[in-house]
């Protein structure tokens, strides 16, 4: 089970979240302000943050940016705001998922389990992937290429790990948006830009791929070849 930090100033909502998460076997800490949340993640740490947006000292969106400045801990937004533009902004600012209030305890559990799986803290934790000269430690969120550490952004690592775990599978852009960006829709340009940055760090290009092969009009493929590399 996970260590969860609940950031919620409403005492009733906060109490309900703590009760449900504790009954589900999680270790729960809670705070009521953005500054307390920042102090907790920076000094104590946790596995996942449930972050309310309507905090008394600072808007939760700004709190999210501050949290992202010090840690890659997964953050699930808990909000009454359901505007599409607001949700997209939060996801682009680093949120891993969002829940629009009111939501059920079961819905929260399912979303949290999905986020923890992606971060290697749920079932299947500790997975390490090896492809040619590429080594990925999912739990530590570290990647190496030919023995040298890769300096990847949070999104680049998520994208690389997602593709590396699916050898031979052509992953559509729609699936990448849903599973990596946690967005039901978006533009191909969003994915193409991140793929371009990631390819540069992997020492390849779209025309001369080493690990990531674009299947035109379909998606991206990670395919093992005879020499242990990936199809290009």
Rounded distance, CA 147 to CA 159, Å?
A: 20
The domain that holds 148 is classified in CATH as: 1.10.10.10
Q: 93-109 pLDDT, tens per residue?
A: 888 888 888 888 888 88
Higher pLDDT pick, 76 / 174? 76
Same domain, 15 and 114: yes
Query: Taking 70 as the threshold, does the pLDDT of residue 184 lie above it?
Result: no
**CA nearest 92: which of 192, 195, 183, 184?**
183
Check residue 51 and give its pLDDT.
Answer: 95
> Which of residues 99, 118, 137 is at a domain's end?
118
Confidence of residue 185 (pLDDT cuts 50, 70, 90): low
Tokens of 113: 């389990």
Q: Is residue 12 part of a domain?
A: yes
Q: Are residues 84 and 170 in the same domain?
A: no
Q: Is residue 80 part of a domain?
A: yes
- The CA–CA distances, whole Å, from 3 to 13, 109, 122, 182 equal 18, 13, 11, 22
pTM, two decimal places: 0.58
Instruction: Among 88, 118, 148, identify where a domain stops.
Output: 118
82 and 169 assigned to the same domain: no
Residues 9 and 114 in one domain: yes
Boundaries of domain holding 44? 3-118
Q: Final residue of a domain: which of 85, 118, 151?
A: 118
pLDDT at 4: 92
State residue 183's pLDDT score: 67
Q: Compute the C-alpha angle 27/29/34, nearest 5°.
A: 145
Q: Is residue 106 part of a domain?
A: yes
Query: Is 60 exceeded by the pLDDT of residue 124?
Result: no
Q: List Cα–Cα distances, 61 to 82, 87, 91, 214, in angstroms.
A: 14, 10, 10, 34
pLDDT tens track for 152-176: 887 888 888 888 877 777 888 888 8
112 and 179: one domain? Answer: no
Is there a contact between 48 and 77 (Cβ–Cβ < 8 Å)?
Answer: no
pLDDT tops 90 at residue 77? yes
């Amino acid at each position: 089970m996970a260590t969860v930090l609940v950031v919620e100033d409403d005492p009733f909502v906060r109490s309900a979240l703590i009760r449900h998460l504790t009954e589900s076997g999680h270790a729960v800490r809670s705070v009521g302000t953005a500054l307390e949340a920042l102090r907790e993640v920076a000094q104590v740490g946790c596995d996942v943050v449930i972050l309310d947006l309507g905090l008394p000292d600072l808007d939760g969106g700004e709190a999210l940016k501050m949290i992202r400045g010090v840690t890659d801990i997964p953050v699930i937004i808990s909000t009454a705001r359901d505007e599409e533009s607001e949700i997209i902004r939060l996801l682009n600012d680093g949120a891993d998922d969002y829940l629009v209030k009111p939501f059920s305890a079961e819905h929260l559990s399912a979303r949290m389990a999905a986020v923890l799986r992606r971060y290697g803290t749920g079932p299947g934790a500790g997975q390490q992937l090896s492809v040619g000269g590429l080594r990925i430690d999912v739990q530590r969120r570290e990647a190496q290429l030919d023995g040298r550490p890769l300096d990847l952004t949070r999104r680049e690592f998520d994208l690389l790990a997602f593709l590396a775990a699916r050898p031979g599978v052509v992953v559509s852009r729609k699936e990448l948006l849903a599973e990596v960006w946690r967005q039901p829709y978006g533009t191909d340009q969003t994915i193409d830009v991140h793929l371009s940055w990631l390819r540069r760090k992997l020492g390849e290009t779209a025309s001369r791929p080493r690990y990531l092969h674009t299947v035109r009009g379909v998606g991206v493929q990670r395919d093992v070849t005879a020499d242990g590399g990936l199809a290009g």
